[in-house]
Amino acid sequence: MRQSQSCDACRARKVRCARENPDDPQSSCKHCIALGIPCTYDYQPKKRGPPNLYLRRLQEAAAAAAAAQDQQNGSDPSSSPVSSRQSLGSPQAPSATTPSTAQSSTPSFLEQSLSNVSATPTGSLPPSRFTITADTYHPNFPSIPPPSSYGGSPGSETHRPLTADDSQSFMSPQEQNSTYPLYNWQYRQHQATPLLAMPPLSYYYRPHRLEDIAPRDTIMLITALFFDFVYPLTPCVHKPSYMADLHARREERDPLFFALVMSTVASTLVQLPRSYLPMERHAVRKLAQTCHEASRHISVASYDPPASVHVVIRYFDCIYHFCEGHDATSHAAFGEAAHIAVTLRMHEEASYEGLDLIECEVRRRTFWLLFGADKSMSILLGRPICLRDEDCTVHFPKELDDEYITPSAYLPQPIGKTSLVSGLNYITRIFALLGEILVRIRVDKRSPPQGQYATARLEEVRSLHSRILSALAHAPEPLRLKETHSQANIPSDYGGAGFRQATFAEVKDFFDNPNASRANALNPFLVLQANLYVTQQLVRFVIEQYRDELVTSIRGSNDEQRIADDREAVASDLLNILHNIPIQSIATNGPSLVHKVRFVASTLLDAVRKAETAPATAARAHAYLWDFLSILSEIERNYLLDDDRDATSSGDGMNTLMGN
């Protein structure tokens, strides 16, 4: 039998209430007697579940009507139960009267809807006896004044309280017509209080000046560096249109273009070697962070309707966070970019009908950049594929440089002049092959093929292997690798201390010396070569690895010597690629190329450790690859903007490799 109600003290202490006579409610329990405190039974159990708001409102309306009736009858209002409850400490409800500063604001969709729910004047309703957070506004938090500019430039305005007129004037056209302006509704409901927790998103959607962030000359210098070094790998803007809009100060009329410029600057700053800008590292990092935050504040207030510029902005944000080491945030930015692209149906060729030609090409380039980044993250991080090749019907971008693309016509590319976009198209073909093998690997992992199905799968994988080996066979001349050393004629000092020191000196000069030669780094086709051929070896390695697994599952065993020879062939070819491309061009690719080389090399080095003997040529190649990976880590280290993470370089070790 369950014990009767415990006393208040035992209930608060969560101990068993021991009374001599449980049926006598007047008797004190032993604990209260021992402690010398009153033994009371005032606790009333509450009803489970959420409060019945509809019933509560009816009760409050009835109480209000009764109070009004008492006032009309000449009764003392202070003696009413409602007033007595309010005087006992119930928090005052904010006045529902719209302040004069907000009378000119257009009521939002929710305001119009809620105004028709109840005919009872909300101003006459007393606060509820069961107060909840949604009923009252508690100005217990410090007010955060909205910034007048992101950069805090000397010419910026002083902070002032934000009014409803400001909210309306800064509201984007899309937001004014939005069906769900929740944040604006909530914000205007709290306008009656003098303190503001934070401004609405619509506050940030307004024109800005570049000078609010940094001197205009600095922004223009960074933009020029973007087109010199970063643009060949990420050609997702139309250079003539972009520069024309910058010179016309479009950002002072179009907040979304301002956001695009800010994201471009932020992603460029984290990809450039530090010697390219006459700024301290901490200043570069702070400027990059300021630009990213400025872009983020504006772009999130303008999602409806989405536009291709949102995809470009989020793609640049993904690069920014990747280079800054914000892995989860980088993946979130990529997810936004990919889903906005799918929302715009950028993966379907039919969606491009009726668009001007510049918009078409920007969308195609941006989508295929996302497609490649999706495959790269999938293999390097073990993540599922988001953009499947079989879902995409969009064509590859036209192999035309930007100056030959106009809103209404494609102009012919001069004969003998290779377009930079050709590099994007070839890397996309390689990533498409990577997507095919990854899909097969993951399908077979869930349901391993048996018998003839396994044999058929092996034939598919061998076909993919042949296709990846010939993927660059027909590349245009500027994209073809120029072999200065054949693998059979590698000099004996390759990988030696002298060669390693010379390479380190070249890397250090590239990053630290503003007057160092930039000829190789400024050659976009050499930069593209490094990306193309390293990625090809990465995909080749993945295909060969799965091919060997299939052979083992079919036959029960495999030729270990042949597997070792294949691994050495990959090492030799990767080694040859890294030696035939200038170190400045490899460095310009930044940390992304380092991750690809490290992915292949880590497994190769594990295989070397397990091997009892190895031919002298392969041993030399693997020893040099070990040293070259330390050089790649030096390249990656020089891109870090955080001094705390900038450890001393280690040219003789490979700790970063072993940690990854």
| Average confidence (pLDDT) over 236-251 | 95
C-alpha to C-alpha distance for 436 and 444, rounded to whole angstroms: 12
Q: What pLDDT score was predicted for residue 624?
A: 61
Q: What pLDDT score was predicted for residue 263?
A: 96
519-535 pLDDT tens trace: 666 789 998 999 999 99
**Tokens describing residue 105:** 């604001």
436-462 pLDDT tens trace: 999 999 999 899 998 899 999 999 999
Q: What pLDDT score was predicted for residue 192?
A: 46
Q: What pLDDT score was predicted for residue 620?
A: 60
| Higher pLDDT pick, 600 / 221 | 221
pTM tops 0.85: no
Out of 4.10.240, 3.40.1350, 3.40.50, 3.90.105, select the CATH number for domain 1-45: 4.10.240
| Higher pLDDT pick, 473 / 50 | 473
| Higher pLDDT pick, 498 / 330 | 330
**Tokens describing residue 420:** 């930079």
Residue 344 has pLDDT above 60, yes or no: yes
On whether the CB atoms of residues 578 and 598 are closer than 8 A, the answer is no
Question: Where does the pLDDT of residue 4 fall: very low under 50, low under 70, confident under 90, or very high at 90 and above?
Answer: low
| Average confidence (pLDDT) over 461-473 | 94
**Highest mean pLDDT out of 27-31, 174-178, 249-253:** 249-253
| Average confidence (pLDDT) over 455-482 | 93
Rg (CA), the chain: 34
Least confident of 108-117, 462-471, 621-630: 108-117
DSSP for 519-545 reads TTTT-HHHHHHHHHHHHHHHHHHHHHH
What percent of the chain has a predicted confidence (pLDDT) above 90? 36
DSSP reduced 3-state for 169:
helix
Q: Which of 350, 353, 357, 339 shows the shortest CA–CA distance to 409?
A: 357
Residue 193 has pLDDT above 80, yes or no: no
C-alpha to C-alpha distance for 314 and 311, rounded to whole angstroms: 5
| Higher pLDDT pick, 167 / 391 | 391
Tell me the H-state helices in 255-403. 255-269, 281-299, 308-324, 327-343, 357-381
Least confident of 170-184, 226-240, 591-605: 170-184
Compute how many other C-beta atoms are within 10 angstroms of the C-beta atom of residue 174.
16
Assign 3-class secondary structure to 618-644: HHHHHHHHHHHHHHHHHHHHHHCCCHH
On whether the CB atoms of residues 149 and 212 are closer than 8 A, the answer is yes
Query: Could you tell me where in the chain the CATH 4.10.240 domains are found?
Result: 1-45
Q: What pLDDT score was predicted for residue 660?
A: 36
DSSP reduced 3-state for 212:
helix
Q: What pLDDT score was predicted for residue 465?
A: 94
